[in-house]
Amino acid sequence: MLPSKAITVLIAEDDYLISEEIKRVFMQSDRYEVIGEAYDGHQALAMTVAMKPDVVLMDIEMPEMDGLEAARQIQLYCPTPIVVLTAHESRQLVNKACLQTGIGAYLTKPPNFAEIDRAIAIARARHRDLISLRSTKEELEMRVNEIHALHGVLPICSFCKCIRNAEGEWEQIETYIHNHSAAKFSHSFCPRCAEKHYPDEYKAIFPDKEP
């Protein structure tokens, strides 16, 4: 029986023999549990959303949808730590792809247990940092929106509609809102005021309107 602390793993690899070899590597430790195997990017995305593994080992070159696109969509729909498996030796190319898709670490094939163990630890740590940063960003955006929002009771003149500010001075309503929010104004005329202040122009534009 596997211990409750086992890290659940989804393997996304289109080569059956490589997938079996990776499973044998994981059998070296009871710290991991392989809970599923996907053979293309679409399966990897669907199984990640459904099974919610602790980490995904993702091959880059897969049919239907490659591993990089699958990783991008996983981070969009079900953010999960991802380690990519690649036969490419270009570290610069893989690092750039990882940054663009939210991948936490990568391994070249065939990986051994020590490499997999280290890469998973790195990917999970980076994923936690990413989630924390996203949470902080959302909180800051909420705070900014709150700052731009008007709260409380505003004394407003019943006749001229000026607002009394915190210093006790009276300001035009558009000036007050402009100074205390992110709103901007575009001046125009409502039909009632246009008829009152510019009756001739109003009648020319609306000749059929009854007074």
Chain centre to alpha carbon of residue 97:
18
Ranges of residues in the chain with a pLDDT under 50 are: 1-3
For helices 91-101 and 67-77, give the axis angle rounded to 10 degrees. 30
CA distance linking residue 137 with residue 55, whole number of Å: 24
- pLDDT given at position 11: 95
- pLDDT given at position 150: 60
As beta bridge partners, residue 33 has 8
Domains and CATH numbers, the chain: 7-141 (3.40.50.2300), 150-211 (no CATH)
Cis check: omega of the bond before 79, within 30 degrees of 0 = no
Q: Which amino acid is at 90?
A: S
- pLDDT given at position 92: 61
- pLDDT given at position 133: 75
- pLDDT given at position 2: 46
- For residue 60, which of 33, 82, 36 has the smallest C-alpha distance? 82
**Residue written as tokens 């309503």?**
173
CA distance linking residue 44 with residue 28, whole number of Å: 24
- pLDDT given at position 143: 65
- pLDDT given at position 1: 44
The structure's pTM equals 0.61
- pLDDT given at position 204: 66
